[in-house]
Structure 1
Amino acid sequence: MKKYNGYLIDLDGTMYRGNEVIKEAPAFIKDLKARGIPYLFLTNNSSKTQDQVTDKLNKLGVEAHPEEVFTSSMATAKYLKQTSPNARCYVIGEVGLMEALHREGIHITDQEDCDAVVVGIDRNITYEKLAKACIAVRNGAAFFSTNSDNALPTERGLLPGNGAFTSVIAVSTGKQPTYIGKPEAIIVKEALTVLGTEVDDTILVGDNYNTDIRAGIQAGMDTLMVFTGVTPLEQLETLPIKPTYYINNLSEWTL
């Protein structure tokens, strides 16, 4: 079993399930810290700030610090800074996305006359917000979305995710966005830049084949799938490309 110099670690289904910690998670993180192995918590959640994500982890008993969290909003902001540094962006999203864009110096405008439209989950979405985004995209604005998650698991059941909001604009305009979060490779590449490790020496750990594992595969990275969340063990044989490794839970993994 190969030893890795860095880890990208999913949250929901890997560290916790909803508001319940996965019991093997705290010890896994403590072991990484004790060995001095760098890692980032990698999440598609665009609504939360680093501090908010860290607060939840610590309350659940998983030791975490803000600099160890990397969200799809952060990846989006860094990608925009590289590809469209002077763009005036009309943004649909919550505090996590707004804060990430401000940190990278992205110009945010409330006008539909803009250079780019950026969409993250917005639980205060309105018809007018979607209308402005559609007009801007039709007029030639570049189109970005933090992630393509169509549904979010909650205590109430599956609720609309950012992919569902994004699809309204895509269907209306006939234009597809550049997605940033998992399963796209963009978020992985941006995270590696922050982590400071090479793709060949880093492993992505997650429970969801269609987001976590596919992101690692598309980025050319080794993957470790745990069966503590979305994808059950019974589906393993049907997967088109298998993860590099798979385990029942994190206690079975040797660093």
Structure 2
Amino acid sequence: MNGFLIDLDGTLYRGHEPIPHAATFIQWLQQHQLPYLLVTNNSSRTPAQVAEHLLAFGIEVPETAVYTSSQAAAKYLTEQRRGRSVHMVGESGLRIALEASGFDMEGTTPPDYVVQGIDRSFTYAKLTEAVRHLKAGATYVLTNPDRMLPSDGGLMPGAGSLAASITAASGVEPVVIGKPSPIIMAYAIERLGLPAADVWVIGDNVHTDIRGGVVSGCRTALVLTGVATPENVHEQMASAGVTPDLVCDDLAHFIDQFTRLGGK
């Protein structure tokens, strides 16, 4: 049996805009009882908020079918057993995941960790505080490296763009949790309960989704509905240095190609 790790932004939706065939694709998975997990680098929402957001597009999934970079970051910190004090640069999805795992968000200075995700209220003051903590010895953990994100009005800067400024100022490279990091990929594959070779990674970003699948030993399918488009797909693959197993116009096209492969 095959399992599926599916991206969200640019694959199932763009901001508040539905992507054609996304709802049909999820229904197809559910009807065929194929195991899947919606894996997102977006750290701003909780799984429940993601599930609610998907309902607006006619996509009904349990929150347990959603796995975020915030959850993976909290799991990673728990496994380190170094300390419980965190300085966060991010939004509510990251804060809730860290608090649910028992981390102290108002603890000692310097903190044990600086954990950073997307923060659409990022300021010079936040940059300064994060850099000072890192200079004092905190470990830098980045939820995801995406420099740009699909949105309603086009691409917008992502967590990776903020991380570039923090790294430039502090001289500290972060531990990256989200795709293409093997950290989130290993956690997601473990949750599916299948060998990596039986898992398909589906997404719109060659640098994150497809690279993450390739380095983890999964099969990969690139959909041209987000960061990758019919116009830039060859440039994207060349710059990433990886090639997906399938390139699909959209998720309906993936179903067709997957079926032609005999569902393997």
TM-score, structure 1 length as denominator? 0.91
* Counterpart for residue 12 of structure 1: 9
Shift of 1:130: 2.2
Structure 2 residue corresponding to 1:163, chosen from 151, 160, 165: 160
State the 4+ residue runs in structure 1 displaced beyond 4 angstroms: 234-238
CA distance in 2, matches of 1:112, 1:166: 21
Instruction: Give 2:249's aligned amino acid.
Output: N
Instruction: Give 1:247's aligned amino acid.
Output: C
Structure 1 pair 99/92, CA: closer, same or farther in 2 (3 Å)? same
* Counterpart for residue 251 of structure 2: 250
2:210 and 2:242 in contact (8 A); partners too: no
Matches within 5 A, 1:179-194: 179-194=176-191
Instruction: Give 1:38's aligned amino acid.
Output: P
Shift of 1:161: 1.8
Unaligned runs of 5+ in 2: none
Residues paired across the two proteins, number: 252
Q: Deviations over 1:30-78 (max 9, x none)?
A: 1111121111111111011111111111111112111111111111111
Query: 2:125 aligned with 1:128, yes or no?
Result: yes
2:17 and 2:152 in contact (8 A); partners too: no
* Counterpart for residue 29 of structure 1: 26
* Counterpart for residue 195 of structure 2: 198
* Counterpart for residue 92 of structure 2: 95
CA distance in 2, matches of 1:153, 1:172: 27
Instruction: Give 1:183's aligned amino acid.
Output: P
Partner of 1:159, secondary structure, is strand
Structure 1 pair 22/219, CA: closer, same or farther in 2 (3 Å)? same
Range that drifts further, 148-157 or 89-98 = 148-157
Shift of 1:82: 1.0
Shift of 1:236: 4.9
* Counterpart for residue 221 of structure 2: 224
* Counterpart for residue 115 of structure 1: 112
CA distance in 1, matches of 2:123, 2:107: 14
Partner of 1:190, secondary structure, is helix
CA distance in 2, matches of 1:179, 1:198: 23
Matches within 5 A, 1:72-91: 72-84=69-81, 86-91=83-88
Query: 2:207 aligned with 1:210, yes or no?
Result: yes
Range that drifts further, 123-132 or 217-226 = 123-132
Partner of 1:107, secondary structure, is coil
Unaligned runs of 5+ in 1: none
CA distance in 1, matches of 2:223, 2:164: 30
CA distance in 2, matches of 1:90, 1:150: 22
1:90 and 1:111 in contact (8 A); partners too: no
Q: Alignment identity in percent?
A: 40
Shift of 1:234: 5.1
CA distance in 2, matches of 1:109, 1:148: 25
Partner of 1:140, secondary structure, is coil
CA distance in 1, matches of 2:27, 2:71: 25
Shift of 1:129: 2.5
